[in-house]
Structure 1
Amino acid sequence: MHLSLFIDECYPSGCDCTLLSPSPCQSVDHWREKSGMVKAFILDFDGLIVDTETPWFYAFRDIYKEHGLELGLELWSKNVGTSFEEFHPFLYLEQALQKPIDHDHIKLLSEQKYEAYLGQAAILPGVHELLQSARKKGIQLAVASSSTRDWVHGYLRTLGIFELFDVIHTAEDVKRVKPDPELYLLALESLGIGASEAVVFEDSPNGLKAAKAAGIRCVIVPNEVTRNLEFSKYDLRLTSLAEITMEVL
């Protein structure tokens, strides 16, 4: 499937539609004329490179169920792609139960359940191909994640793709994480490019808001947890990065 990304004449920013097939204006020649504008791809990590978000939701859903409570996806999604400021699963559980909980025990239990659901971490479909093709085409690569440095670096090294990235920025590098644009603005600065020369790949509404606030075009690739959430003002929406072929570059 040939997808020519971000052709403003055909798909103005803000269209609320899912583009999963080529348009007549998405020709190879047209994209080659435009491709010089794109100098870097900036990727989110959790839920985009590896689906760590779905196992975490399942883990806490189980814990809540064991306490006689239901954890809905709408509530959980408030912290997807950002920090626990809007919804903290430990504090919310305490409030719902109206009694203190053993945070250390819940933390250990959630980690055990997370590992069980995650199994062996696997890179999501299409990610490796996108990274390799971008490197061959001279397109810079960056990660901009609201997660911690140890978390992101550890997974990227385990997956064998750490060295493919020119820039990696995480929560420790900024004062405010997504949906604040600071992570993406910092990535642009580190890459030495302008917002119009980058493309962001995101899986969450918070990530999308951050990218658009930074003035960067954004491709949405939802995962199991985020696919039914509300997205707006994206430039392109895919069901998987495997839908992209790089011949158009």
Structure 2
Amino acid sequence: MTKNRSIFLDYSNTITTVESENMAIEKWLSFIRDKYNLDQGMSEKFLELRLKKLVERERNFKTFMEINREVLNELYGIKEIYEDEYYRFHEKYLRLRDDFLPFMKEVKGAFSVVVVTDADNIYTERTMRSLGIYDLFDCIVTAEDVKAPKPDRRIFEEALRRSGYPEQVIFIGDSERRDIQGANNMNFLVIKMGDPSRDTAADFVATNFSQVLKILEERGLLK
């Protein structure tokens, strides 16, 4: 699979909506909280410690599920992480951005499209299949594949290898640290999906995929 140009896409909070991501994780945490009769502040404690461990995984790689297990065990001594429930809540509640599928129809002929995600393999496949998008991409590269999350160069280098080393890469993601910093280090053209009023090192900012298309059109990249 070789095309001269590629679009590399982050998955969570870029292809999917922030609101649905938050809803899915909260439903899973509520399930655990009710099962063990935990305190109402359980979700906040879990997410705070999980975020800390996600930063630490840049130096010592662990999957999301391994981190979930560590956090529940450290906070509450819970050994069971209810992995299948985690997947099922995400399959049920995750939603695509409204204009993602029209965006894909516009770019598929002009670019190879590659997902570069920090998520685990099973999670990525199950949720993408439930959303009906798993087969839309030329390839999917996860942090679990290379044992290194963004902004580590290894995950981007693997995406380049699998996409046939395109001459130009446009990267689209939402995280300033993981996506924007990592893509800038690779000298990609970088579009941040987020709030245009916030400072960013990205080349462009878009709030939706329709705006991404406009950026590509204005640069003469949709041919």
Q: Is the shorter-chain TM-score for this pair beyond 0.5, marking a shared fold? A: yes
Deviations, residues 160-205 of structure 1 (Å, cap 9, x unaligned): 33332112112342131212121111111222235x6001111223
> C-alpha distance in 2, partners of 1:151/1:142?
17
SS at match of 2:162: helix
Change (3 A) 1:112 1:74: closer
Aligned length: 200
CA RMSD of aligned residues (A): 3.9
Higher Cα Rg: structure 1 or 2? 1
Query: Unaligned stretches of 5+ in structure 2?
Result: none
Change (3 A) 1:66 1:220: farther
Give the corresponding residue for 2:16: 50
The partner residue of 2:132 within 157, 160, 169 is 160
Query: Unaligned stretches of 5+ in structure 1?
Result: 1-37
Give the corresponding residue for 1:180: 152
1:238 aligns with 2:211: no
Write out the 4+ residue segments of structure 1 that deviate beyond 6 Å after TM superposition.
Answer: 80-83
1:201 aligns with 2:172: yes
Give the corresponding residue for 1:8: none
Counterpart of 2:82 in structure 1: which amino acid? L
The partner residue of 1:214 within 169, 175, 186 is 186
Change (3 A) 1:77 1:232: farther
Change (3 A) 1:54 1:193: same
| Structure 2 length-normalised TM | 0.69
Shift of 1:94: 4.9
The partner residue of 1:149 within 115, 121, 143 is 121
Q: Which gives a bigger RCO, structure 1 or 2 (Cα 8 Å, sep 6+)?
A: 1
Shift of 1:159: 2.7
Which structure has the highest helix share of the two?
2
